[in-house]
Chain A
Amino acid sequence: MAETETLPEIEHDEKTGEKSSLEPGWLVICWNDPVNLMTYVTHVFQTVFGWNKQKAEHHMLQVHRNGKSVLARTTMEKAEHYVHQLQKYTLHATMERES
């Protein structure tokens, strides 16, 4: 089943304008696995990203149905932070440079 993925808003760092690891261009991805409860994943998304229930459920269902969901598009530092937070909850999350 192919569904269109909605990428989160790009975060702009207008203060520096530097093209470096501070520049958005890193994707935080959560991958499907058969062990984490759907309710648990929804809760973790709400906690880590501060999303409302509807948005958290939307991304949880993308993970469940498509195998993965792009949760954030941000700087390298923030992407590392989010991946770390998600892994603290034992979710399968990684970061990738946007192609």
Chain B
Amino acid sequence: MKLLRSGKSVFVFQLSPREKQVLLETLELYPLVPASHHRLSNTGSPSESDENQRLLEESLAEQRKENRKQVQAMLEQPERFRETKNGLQFSLKHSEVEWLLQVLNDIRVGSWLALGEPEPGELPEISKQNLRYLMAMEVCGAFESLLLSAFGIAESPDWLE
């Protein structure tokens, strides 16, 4: 997948039918991060934080429900992927890129949690049980990088000093 062009409000990407299949199959995994994973505070007293924590989880659950609906709508929208002689053209509004990033990162982080929160370079051996999470983590990272490059954000060598 690569960025073909970006307008005032729409990005157009080109991707192959196989890349489309990988993207859609991966999106089917959403949501993966448990709502209870997020904590409002590391230090708040229980009486102070319980209610706020509950509200946070409710709010995040509502957000995910909306994201899930949007994912489903995208999956069922044939005109979203337009066939051309060079493959498929995939159009996304800027706001849609934002939620797609949230969705992909939920799958990436959820996969990482399912793998036992490994450190870089310490990924577990591939097994039948964890293969889909290992694949999903990598696939989501690749699609996220592509979407972020459309916003002009790329990794700098200075960051790794």
Dominant SS among interface residues on chain A: helix
For chain B, the count of residues having a C-beta within 8 Å of the partner chain is: 36
Cα distance A88–B102 in the bound complex, in angstroms: 7
Q: How many A-B residue pairs have CB under 8 A?
A: 75
Known contacts A40-B105, A40-B144; is-contact A80 B40 (Cβ 8 Å): yes
> Of the 9-residue stretches B3-11, B17-25, B52-60, B77-85, which lies at the interface with chain A?
B52-60
| A66, CB-defined interface residue at 8 Å | no
Please give the distance in Å from A87's CB to the nearest CB on chain B. 4
Contact A87–B148 (Cβ < 8 Å)? no
B39 at the interface (CB under 8 A from A): yes
Contact A34 B151 (CB under 8 A): no
Please name all residues of chain B whose beta carbon is closer than 8 Å to the beta carbon of A80 when the two chains form the complex. Answer: 40, 52, 56
Interface membership of A83, Cβ < 8 A: yes
* A5 in contact (CB, < 8 A): no
- Residue B120 interfacial (CB < 8 Å): yes
Contact A39 B148 (CB under 8 A): yes
A95 touches B40 (CB 8 A): yes
Q: Which of A36, A84, A89, A90 contacts B59 (CB 8 A)?
A: A84
Across the interface, do B154 and A39 meet the contact criterion of CB distance under 8 Å?
yes
A98 to B152, CA, bound (A): 35
B155 within 8 A of A: yes
Partner-contacting stretch, out of B68-76, B106-114, B124-132: B106-114
Which residue of B117, B119, B155 contacts A38 across the interface (Cβ within 8 Å)? B155
Query: Mind listing 7 A-B residue pairs with CB under 8 Å?
Result: A35-B112, A39-B155, A43-B151, A60-B159, A89-B102, A94-B39, A94-B42
Name 11 extra pairs, CB < 8 A, besides A34-B118, A40-B148, A90-B108. Answer: A35-B137, A36-B105, A37-B148, A39-B144, A39-B148, A43-B153, A84-B59, A88-B102, A89-B101, A94-B39, A94-B41
Q: Which 4 A-B pairs have the closest CB atoms?
A: A35-B112, A87-B38, A90-B109, A39-B148
Interface, chain A (partner B; CB < 8 A) = 34-40, 42-43, 47, 53, 57, 60-61, 64, 80, 83-84, 87-90, 94-97
